[in-house]
Amino acid sequence: PIRETVDKVVDKVTDVVSGGGPSGEIPGRPGSRPPTVDEPTEPREPLPPKPDQSGPDPFSPTGQSVDVSAAERAQGGERLTTAQGLRLVDTDHSLKAGPRGPVLLQDHHLREKIMHFDHERIPERVVHARGAAAHGVFRAYGTATTVTRAAFLAKDVETPVFVRFSTVLGSRGSADTVRDTRGFATKFYTGEGVFDLVGNNIPVFFIQDAIKFPDVIHAGKPHPDREIPQAQSAHDTFWDFVSLHTEATHHTLWNMSDRGIPRSFRTMEGFGVHTFRLVDAEGATTLAKFHWKPKAGVHSLVWEEAQIISGVDPDFHRRDLADAIEAGAHPQWELGIQLFPDTPEQTFEGIDLLDPTKIVPEELSPVQPVGVLTLNANPVNFFAETEQVAFHVGHLVPGIDVTDDPLLAGRLFSYLDTQITRLGGPNFGQIPINRTHAPVNDMLRDGFHQDAVHSGVAPYKPNSLDGGCPFFAGQQEGGYRETPVQVPAARKVREAPASYADHFSQPRLFWLSLTPVEREHVIAAYTFELGKVYEQAIKERNLRVLAEIDPYLCEQVAQGLGLPVPKPVNSLPSVEPSPALSQLGHTWPTTGRIIGVVVDGGGDLDTVRAVRQAVLDGGMVPLIIAPAGGVLGADGDDPVTVQRTFATARSVEFDALLLAGTPAPGKDAYGARDAKAGNGTAAGARTDPRVLLMLGEAFRHAKPIGGWADAAQALTAVGIDTDAPGVIVQDDAEAVLGEVVRLLGQHRVWERFPTTAAVV
Ligand code: HDE
């Protein structure tokens, strides 16, 4: 009997694992069928186009080899193959000795597939790991030709570009809207070779000498014991370092300002930070700083909004950039240069141009526009392009040279070196996204991942065997010649120049240039960040740093921390504010801004339609938010598609909110018709806690809020005064929209933001 039982069990198990026999019936469940997989087995016509994968089908049924040129080696053909081009009949099952048997080592397809997968990840960037990028074009105005012979800056020259934006501290999967500096790196594929402008959205840096870079980054990255916090500066090691190393004060203050939490990559300025040397056709030189100015205006999040987005949509900036480009709202920046005479002192109006912790106020040296950048295409493949792009401050073109800024010197080493680990060898320049558009004729050979098949026998110079080729270029042929700069006779020392010791005058200049609202944001940011610090001594030391910038700033932060206010050691530096440093007080285009329209079961759909159309006509994006998905007014001619539901919408996605109220009795309401879709019966927007949350947040975040009919009820329910600035409730919906759009031009309704009168 034991034998019998065992046999029965074995039969049953065999039945289960073999899928229940040819009918596919699951054992024990008569009549059952396995789920069907509805994958097409023949290509559909027409085959969806796949960029860069359009080579001819290289399969030759006769077994003859097919001539595939290098450019056509990208993926092609309709059939699944191995990496070697062998066509496959199955990719779902390992090769086994019977369905229940062991997997065989001879399964070359399994081994190749798993081997490749095991190595899909490459090391993320040691800094700036989190990023998003886009392709575009740079068109020069020709205004720079008086100071540089760079061919791509000549009038109307158009140069393809690839731009990568990034945060600095977080890992590749970290949230976009953390408080941090943003990278703004541009690769210009010029006819004279690649020029990389590897900048940030903050015009100064934490350190004056590259040798300190590992220190500042170790301090900012997560603590080495627990690896927390991720992508944050609000922790002990960061504040320990920046208070002990006070040359970081200026950059830290910018990080605590609105610049640390941009609304979008599209609304950030960019800065080359260092002073560069421009060289004209005659060899005359001028010192210059590079600036990117966004056409959409400079605009930031508010801190609570940034924190909510980190959870609600960690890809906020990445999505925003890609969506805008896909929608045809191509982001634009003007490139500008500040110019300074190339004197032996390398100072301008007393400001040391080689000190990367200093700016030159635009009021002293205006930013002169030299061209416009338009981002017009999203990457096709994130890894191939955004991840593998490699920028380098040493990628220069004739007409642009470096200076002796010691921070720049270290970068000139670092950006090549880091790619050896990150991209696995010295041939990263051959990866498609990094390839120059100029002809390459170098004598670099071999190395990991060598993609080129070099001809000739003499990769050395001078040679006679390859006829002396390749030849040098004189200046007329576009040869790059370093500027013969006089190096001062000096002793070899590990020292900084005396001017580098001024750590507080420019932080004070920046502070005094901000409006009261912006100053309140700075105070709140320091109070938040230092409030997260555990060590009392570190908080106190940072307050002593703030005392050197401004007594009010120091006092307010001290109050928030519950600590005594220290006295400054030095007298406050006397500086002239630079209004150009403030982000507020301007009017900007509203194209591309997103307006949420909250609609519930009782609204007047014709008004909603009219408002939606007016938003679209203004080049903005209306998103209809209703209790449930589907369409509103399904029975009529022009149903309104619901884009967000009360469950999926959150205020942070919208630049302004409109609330469609319920019309007075007797007017057409569509509620009953949509009851089936779940959009009609609820008391809806006036009481739904999710809508009230949205309204409360939009109000706190200084966003324009509009409403018509009985919308005021919801506002009152959440405690919003309908007479508050930027809250527009009227009967005429289109008039409401008009006022909301006017307010959007200023980005936010800052009058609503509570500021202390004594902020100065
Ligand atoms: Fe970078 N930086 N950096 N940096 N940096 C890198 O290069 C470095 C500095 C900046 O989207 C790394 O390929 C040193 C200033 C951007 O791919 C690395 C020093 C500025 C990006 C590196 C600095 C920047 C990087 C990491 C001090 C603004 C992202 C991966 C001497 C002007 C580029 C890589 C991208 C990336 C080193 C300081 C901007 C390790 C040693 C100042 C935008 O090479």
Concatenated DSSP letters of 406-454: HHHHHHHHHHHHHHHHHSSSTTGGGSGGG--SS---------TT-----
pLDDT at 13 over 70: no
Q: Which atom of ligand 1 is nearest to the CA of 128?
A: 29
Average pLDDT over residues 368-375: 98
How far are the Cα atoms of 24, 102, 103, 455 from residue 98, in angstroms, in the given order? 18, 8, 9, 51
Which residue puts its alpha carbon closest to atom 24 of ligand 1? Answer: 199
Index of the ligand 1 atom closest to the CA of residue 389 = 17
> Cis peptide leading into 551, omega within 30 of 0?
no
Report yes or no: 531 and 303 within 8 Å, Cβ to Cβ.
Answer: no
Judge if the beta carbon of residue 127 lies within 6 A of ligand 1: yes
The average confidence (pLDDT) of the chain is 90
Helix, strand, or coil here: 375? Answer: strand
Can you tell me the distance from the alpha carbon of 58 to that of 51, in angstroms, rounded to the nearest whole number? 17
Cα–Cα distance, 334 to 371 (Å, whole number) = 6
Phi/psi at 736 (nearest 5 deg)? Answer: -60, -50
In the predicted structure, residue 759 carries a pLDDT above the cut 60: no
Q: Say whether pLDDT at 672 is over 50.
A: no
pLDDT in tens, 476-491: 899 999 999 998 899 9
Q: Give residue 52's pLDDT band: very low, low, confident or very high (50, 70, 90).
A: very low
* Residue 319 pLDDT > 80: yes
Q: Please state the atom number of ligand 1 nearest to the C-alpha of residue 417.
A: 44
> What pLDDT is stored for residue 36 in this prediction?
63
Q: What is the pTM of this model?
A: 0.91
**Pairwise CA distance, residues 142 & 153, whole Å:** 6
> Ligand 1: which of 161, 393, 408, 415 to mutate, most ligand atoms within 8 Å of CB?
415
Q: Reply yes or no on whether the pLDDT at 364 is more than 60.
A: yes
Please give the pLDDT value at position 19: 46
Was 164 annotated as part of a binding site? yes
Nearest to 239 by CA among 523, 535, 511: 535
User: What is the C-alpha separation between 676 and 678, in angstroms, rounded?
Assistant: 5
What is the per-residue pLDDT across 482-522, written as a single tens digit (0 to 9) for each? 999 998 899 999 999 999 999 999 999 999 999 999 999 99
Residue 184 CA: which ligand 1 atom is closest? Answer: 43
Higher pLDDT pick, 2 / 752: 752
What region, left, alpha or beta, does residue 250 occupy, with left being phi > 0 and alpha being psi -120 to 50 degrees? alpha
Per-residue pLDDT at 666 exceeds 50: no
| Confidence (pLDDT) at 667 | 44
pLDDT digits (tens, 9 = 90+) for 535-583: 999 999 999 999 999 999 999 999 999 999 999 999 999 999 999 999 9
The reported pLDDT for the residue numbered 40 is: 77
Mean pLDDT for the stretch of residues 145-154: 98
Whole-number Å distance, alpha carbon 414 to ligand 1 midpoint, is 8
Spatial distance between the Cα atoms of 711 and 611, rounded to a whole number of angstroms = 15
172 is in an annotated binding site: no
CA of 129 to the centre of ligand 1 (A): 10
Q: What pLDDT score does 8 carry? A: 64
Task: Output the pLDDT for position 41.
Answer: 74
Q: What gap in Å lies between CA 42 and CA 436, rounded to an integer? A: 39
Q: Where are the alpha helices (DSSP H) in 580-633?
A: 605-617
- 69-121 residue pLDDT tens: 544 556 788 899 999 999 999 999 999 999 999 999 999 999 999 999 999 99
Report the C-alpha gap between 348 and 343 in whole angstroms. Answer: 9
125 is in an annotated binding site: yes
ipTM: 0.98
Ligand 1 lined by 212 (C-beta under 6 Å): no
Give the residue, by CA position, lying nearest to ligand 1 atom 27. 210
* pLDDT-based confidence at residue 145 (cuts at 50, 70, 90): very high
Please give the Cα distance from 80 to 77 (Å, whole number).
8
Digit-coded pLDDT (tens) for 436-489:
999 999 999 999 999 999 999 999 999 999 999 999 998 889 999 999 999 889
| Ligand 1 lined by 411 (C-beta under 6 Å) | yes
Question: Which one has a higher pLDDT value, 39 or 335?
Answer: 335
- Give the H/E segment covering residue 253: helix 249-256
Supply the residue whose CA is at minimum distance from atom 32 of ligand 1: 199
For the chain, how many residues are written? 760
Side chain identity at 52, as an amino acid letter? D
Q: Which residue has the higher pLDDT, 215 or 56?
A: 215
Pairing mode of beta strands 276-279, 285-294: antiparallel
Task: Supply the pLDDT for residue 713.
Answer: 87
DSSP structural state of residue 691: H
Beta bridge mates, 709: none
Question: Does the pLDDT value for residue 58 go beyond 60?
Answer: no
Q: How many CB atoms lie within 10 A of CB 146?
A: 12
State whether the beta carbon of 407 lies less than 6 angstroms from ligand 1.
Answer: yes
* Ligand 1 mean position, distance from CA 272 (Å): 11
pLDDT band at residue 55 under the 50/70/90 scheme: very low
Handedness of CA 150, 153, 155, 157 (dihedral sign): positive
Would residue 679 show up in a list of annotated catalytic residues for this protein? no
Q: Is 364 helix (H, G, I), strand (E, B) or coil?
A: coil
* pLDDT of 665 higher than 60: no
Question: Is 422 annotated as a binding-site member?
Answer: yes
Ligand 1 center from residue 423 Cα (angstroms)? 15
Bigger pLDDT: 636 vs 274: 274
Distance separating alpha carbons of residues 560 and 564, to the nearest angstrom: 10
CA distance 587 to 446: 55
* Residues 6 or more apart whose Cβ sits within 8 Å of residue 564: 558
DSSP string computed for 145-213: TTT---GGGSTT-EEEEEEEEEESSS-TTS-TTSSS-EEEEEEEEETTEEEEEEEESSSS-S-SSGGGH
On the question of pLDDT at 162 being above 80, the answer is yes
CA–CA gap between residue 519 and residue 757 (Å, rounded): 11
Quote the pLDDT of residue 564.
Answer: 98
- pLDDT (tens digit per residue) in 111-125: 999 999 999 999 999
Quote the pLDDT of residue 409.
97
For residue 131, give the ligand 1 atom closest to its CA: 11
- Annotated catalytic residue within 116, 135, 200, 437: 200
Q: What is the pLDDT at residue 39?
A: 77
pLDDT for residue 634: 84
Triad 224, 419, 376: Cα angle to 5°? 105
Per-residue confidence band for 673, with pLDDT thresholds at 50, 70 and 90: very low
**Ligand 1 centroid vs 185 CA: distance in angstroms?**
9
- Closest by CA to 305, choosing from 582, 650, 749, is 650
**Taking Cα atoms as reference points, which of 230, 90, 103 lies closest to residue 172?**
230
Q: Tell me whether residue 128 is one of the annotated catalytic residues.
A: yes
Q: Write down the pLDDT at residue 333.
A: 98
Pairwise pLDDT comparison (191 vs 710), residue with the higher score? 191
For residue 393, the CA-to-ligand 1 centroid distance in Å is 9
Give the closest residue (by CA) to ligand 1 atom 3.
Answer: 411
Confidence of residue 601 (pLDDT cuts 50, 70, 90): low
Least confident of 148-152, 171-175, 287-291, 327-331: 327-331
CB of 198 shorter than 6 A to ligand 1: yes
